[in-house]
Amino acid sequence: MKSFSEIIQQTEFSPEDLVRMLEADGDDRTLLFVQAEKVKKQTIGNKVYFRGLIEFSNICAKDCLYCGIRRSNEKVVRYEATDAEILDACRFAWQNRFGSVVLQSGELSSPTFVRRVDSLLKQIKELSNGELGVTLSCGEQSIETYRQWRESGAHRYLLRIESSNPELYQKIHPENDLHRFDRRLQALRDLKASDYQVGTGVMIGMPFQTIEDLANDLLFFKQLDVDMVGMGPYIEHEETPLYVYRHLLKSKQERFDLALKMVASLRLLMPDINIAAATALQAIDPAGREKALKIGANVIMPNLTPCDYRKEYQLYEDKPCLDEDAELCRNCLEARIGLAGCEIGYNEWGDSKHYEHRKRAEDPGRGFQSQPQSK
């Protein structure tokens, strides 16, 4: 049987290897984290990239059983930020050298919604002289919509699978065509075909989930050949159907620890991708995001959503930073990143090196389009 130190030195991992990594404790856990930090620095360096998060609407057509803004939750006050508010947040990000923003919303696909996002993309590019990178997280769309938004300025897209196990996926979603696993998977494939840097992710420690499920989630990321991952600990929300299964959950601290091991293991499995330090980590541990940055993550998302709306965009309970304005959030994160021993990649898109490597492998003669030079 291989020793743990032999396992973490590998570049290819079996499901059994990953299970051992996710179950590591004591000295083995320390070895895992040290190796992940080493591989991160060797592969992608020590920079952390800002993605200014703008949660511009909590109106959602989906009814996912774990989500606080699910369509059936009548206790949520629904909102839509105005175009002016969204563009003001983008201008703040650009002027403060964030490099990129994330436009995130509930999942809608109406023609009105598609046109609005398309218009916002064009205006963001105009106000920033094309310098501000844009990630979208707006759910499942047609491939035509994805291509339209790509042409208008988006270049990264986050669409979380939440679980790569079709049976578990169905347990946490309603049984209807709108919530089919294969529909979600096809959307991810359409995003790759539309030339996005593609991101996905899972919830860690939710009801009915096993360690083997999580190991297979990591291998799913590898098989799908994603460019970025955003994943964090599952945190229950009392206004969701999944809340009745809270007695099945590990403690929040155990879920937090498991999430860190997922980040470290993924860094070893896919050394050149972007990995976000999820805000949910900070909901459990005040230093949660810094701990993730230390052992593998390289992206962090300061919340630029107008404060009046933030309390209504709670996918889970105890979400942090609900009352910090953008300036406070930026200053706080600057200090946190310094404490984690990392530096901030100001004025940089922080594109996934994996995407660059993937596109060059697909077409060796194709030049990789980097961001325009900032003034």
**pLDDT tens digit sequence for 35-93:** 999 999 999 999 999 999 999 999 999 999 999 999 999 999 999 999 999 999 999 99
Are 23 and 211 in contact, with CB atoms under 8 Å apart?
yes
> In the structure, what pLDDT confidence band is assigned to residue 339 with cuts at 50, 70 and 90?
confident
Residue with token string 């360690």: 211
DSSP calls for 142-170 = -HHHHHHHHHHT--EEE---B-S-HHHHH
Alpha helices (H) in 49-153, listed in sequence order: 83-95, 111-127, 143-152
- Model pLDDT, residue 52: 94
At 364 the pLDDT is: 74
- Phi and psi angles of residue 48, each rounded to the nearest 5 degrees, phi first: -115, 135
SS3 of 350-373: the string is: CCCHHHHHHHHHHCCCCCCCCCCC
Residue of 129, 127, 131, 139 whose CA lies nearest to 86: 127
222-248 confidence digits (pLDDT tens): 999 999 999 999 999 999 999 999 999
* Mean pLDDT value of segment 285-303: 93
Say which CATH class 12-361 falls into.
alpha beta
Q: Which whole-number Å values give the CA distances from 242 to 99, 172, 236, 248, in the listed order?
A: 37, 7, 8, 10
Report whether pLDDT(373) > 50: no
CA separation for the pair 195, 256 (Å, rounded): 33
pLDDT tens sequence across 175-186 = 999 999 999 999
Residue that the structure tokens 């986050």 belong to: 158
Residue 288 has pLDDT above 90, yes or no: yes
296 phi and psi angles, rounded to 5 deg:
150, -30
How many residues are present in the chain? Answer: 375
What is the pLDDT confidence band of residue 317, given thresholds at 50, 70 and 90?
Answer: low
pLDDT for position 324:
56
295 by Cβ neighbours in 10 Å (0-12 / 13-18 / 19+) ranks as buried
Cβ-based burial of 63 (10 A; exposed 0-12, middle 13-18, buried ≥19): middle
- For the whole model, what pTM was predicted? 0.95
Return d(Cα 209, Cα 22) in angstroms, integer: 13
